[in-house]
Structure 1
Amino acid sequence: MAFPQTAADTQGPRRRLARGLAVLLPLGLSLASPALGETSAPAPVPAASSPAPSPAAAEALDQSLSPECRVPGSKLYTLARLKAVKAALKEKRPIHVLAIGSSSAGLGASASYPVKLENALEQALPDVQVEVEARGLPGEVASGAGERLRSMVAEMEPDLVVWQVGTNDALARVDIEAFGEALDESVQWVKSHGIDIVLIDPVFTESLADDAYYTQMVRTVQEVARREAVPLVHRYAAMRFLSTQRTTEAHMLGRHFRLNDLGLRCMAEHATRAITLSLLQPEAAKVDTKTEAGPPAKSDPPDAARGTSEGAPTAAGK
């Protein structure tokens, strides 16, 4: 379903990415450029007092994003394969996306988030119909969303779930171990039903940058995403980086830790970037078990995106 587009949504670089994807995806090819074909290693959750890198040492910004949303790739995503979405593309059928998390709750500026995500995905995947439905609830924590997932999946039968997770749990001071278990269980359940899932970690705010509990919540989402080999949008790191480019974080964050209109647009672009690049991840090499002697050797999860050779996701979102 297409929606009216703003001037900021129609950047030339995004069209060039779309044309590249249109050619590469049907052929099952991946891009050789580090900016497109390789996974960026996730940055650790930094302290607010960490100095910004010098311009000479700074990583190049991702030029496919709108100028006000540009961050280095290492602060933007960890990639993993999206089998269900790729199958929908090959079958030339609409891609159904379920968005959950409190910024998908449809209140105030967040009411525009499904539209922004839908438009961004359709621009990046030309000639593909994308249908995004948001089912977030204000203040919902991971355990509650996980319980609702069963009925939502049965009703919608989505190809992809995009989950902003962790911010509400952190604000409610949910036990971190219980949070991690609930998130892990829900991700496993979604994957077991042949559905892809992308996690978006918590928002960044200066007021909580030195809070050990909050940053541990971000790391917990990292660990779940890495363990379950699912793509992760590093919202915390991206927002922190963008806040250093301006005098205040208020340009993206509104009241009560909720993203404003620009913050939602950047999040939609960042999620789309992680999704489209994950679609270019190569298939795992098949092992000939007939000629293997003895039990197979243990290895890291094959779906995990790696930067040069390995990458770990960063975090949790609303």
Structure 2
Amino acid sequence: MRSVGVAAMLFGSLAARSALAQATPPDAASLQKSQKGLATKAVEAAKSAASTAGDIFTRVPCLPAKGLKDISGSLPRVARRIAADEPVTIVAFGSSTTVGFGTSSPAYTYPNRLADQLRRKFPTSDITIINRGMGGQDAPEMMKRFDAAVLDADPDLVIWQLGTNTVVKGNASDIAATAALVEDGVARLQARGIDVVLIDPQYVPAVTAKTENAGRMVKLIGEVARLKNVSVFPRFEVMRQWHEVDKMPFDKFVIGDGLHMNDWGYACFAQLLGDTIIKSVGQVKAGVNIPSNVMTYRPM
């Protein structure tokens, strides 16, 4: 009886192992099928997002602002390097606008969109854009990381977005102190022959609620640019025209927090900014001499 019991136990154990072995392949196959399903869904989602991003400007055209001053000249170092098919490094320096808060995908931040635009226009050029944005910061915090975030990258161009957080916080003394900090940063870039574009605050409800502060900051950044002979992208005026001239409701280019842009806002901003660089390269290729220091607003 004992031997029969042992045999039964052994048979039962072998049967269990056999059943387990037979069950494993279907489980693995199911897992593989499930993984393929997830991968397919991810690809489809990416394609859908790309399609949505691609038709942004067919839904609402991205038009240049009207009446802004058009002064030739611009970004000699980066333009000459692109024209010569030499590698170009651009640092996008700033706060949450540079990080891309409000976009539906990291691919739709303004630095990434700008990189895509320039690479399409100059397919033989090796163009790198490094995102050095950090949310919530403005000039004082940015200058603390200036060396590591900007200078250590040895860029050909620095696009410096600033001012919005200081405006929203509403401290007049901080606005006044911004000038000296930005002048110092620009001077350090110029000492290395690096091109500079300053980006003033965005025109959004959180900023327009601080009308006096916003006006002061926009004026201050413009004055620093004139003093240091660097470029300014007049984002505040461009976005103001979207709302007041083109009659676009804020929710067409701003997310619900009333502060950050949406995919369309970032895309149009990047495209108009990229036009500045493209025009400069075109001037170099056409044989137009661009002085090393020329004050310019974005050609609209």
Instruction: Tell me if structure 2 keeps the 8 A contact 1:187–1:228.
Output: yes
Partner of 1:220: 220
Residue 249 in structure 1 maps to residue 240 in structure 2:
no
Which is worse superposed, 79-88 or 195-204?
Answer: 79-88
Partner of 2:176: 177
Residue 193 (structure 1) shift = 1.2
Alignment map for 1:150-161 (pairs within 5 Å) = 150-161=147-158
Distance 1:80 1:183, change over 3 A: farther
Instruction: Tell me if structure 1 keeps the 8 A contact 2:78–2:156.
Output: yes
Partner of 2:289: 283
Instruction: Tell me if structure 1 keeps the 8 A contact 2:179–2:224.
Output: yes
Residue 67 (structure 1) shift = 5.7
Partner of 1:134: 131
Whole-angstrom CA distance in 1 between matches of 2:72 and 2:212:
26
Residue 205 (structure 1) shift = 2.4
Alignment map for 1:10-89 (pairs within 5 Å) = 68-72=61-65, 74-75=67-68, 80-89=73-82
Instruction: Tell me if structure 2 keeps the 8 A contact 1:231–1:275.
Output: no
Partner of 2:199: 200
Distance 1:98 1:284, change over 3 A: closer
- TM-score normalised over the length of structure 1: 0.65
Distance 1:199 1:248, change over 3 A: same
Letter in 1 for 2:222: Q
Aligned with 2:185: secondary structure? helix
Residue 247 (structure 1) shift = 4.6
Instruction: Tell me if structure 1 keeps the 8 A contact 2:206–2:258.
Output: no
- The Cα offsets for residues 91-129 of structure 1, whole Å up to 9 and x where unpaired, read as 422211111212122545173313211111223334223
Residue 171 (structure 1) shift = 1.4
Q: Which has the higher helix share?
A: 2
Distance 1:243 1:236, change over 3 A: same
Partner of 1:303: 294
- TM-score normalised over the length of structure 2: 0.69
Q: Report 1 or 2 for greater relative contact order, CA contacts < 8 Å, sequence distance ≥ 6.
A: 1
Instruction: Tell me if structure 1 keeps the 8 A contact 2:82–2:122.
Output: no
Structure 1: tracts of 5 or more residues without a match: 12-63, 286-300, 306-311, 314-318
Which is worse superposed, 200-209 or 188-197?
Answer: 200-209
Whole-angstrom CA distance in 1 between matches of 2:219 and 2:112:
29
Residue 246 (structure 1) shift = 3.1
Whole-angstrom CA distance in 1 between matches of 2:141 and 2:190:
18
Instruction: Tell me if structure 2 keeps the 8 A contact 1:100–1:161.
Output: yes
Partner of 1:271: 273
Structure 2: tracts of 5 or more residues without a match: 1-46
> Aligned pair count?
239
User: Percent identity among equivalent residues?
Assistant: 25
Whole-angstrom CA distance in 2 between matches of 1:137 and 1:240:
25
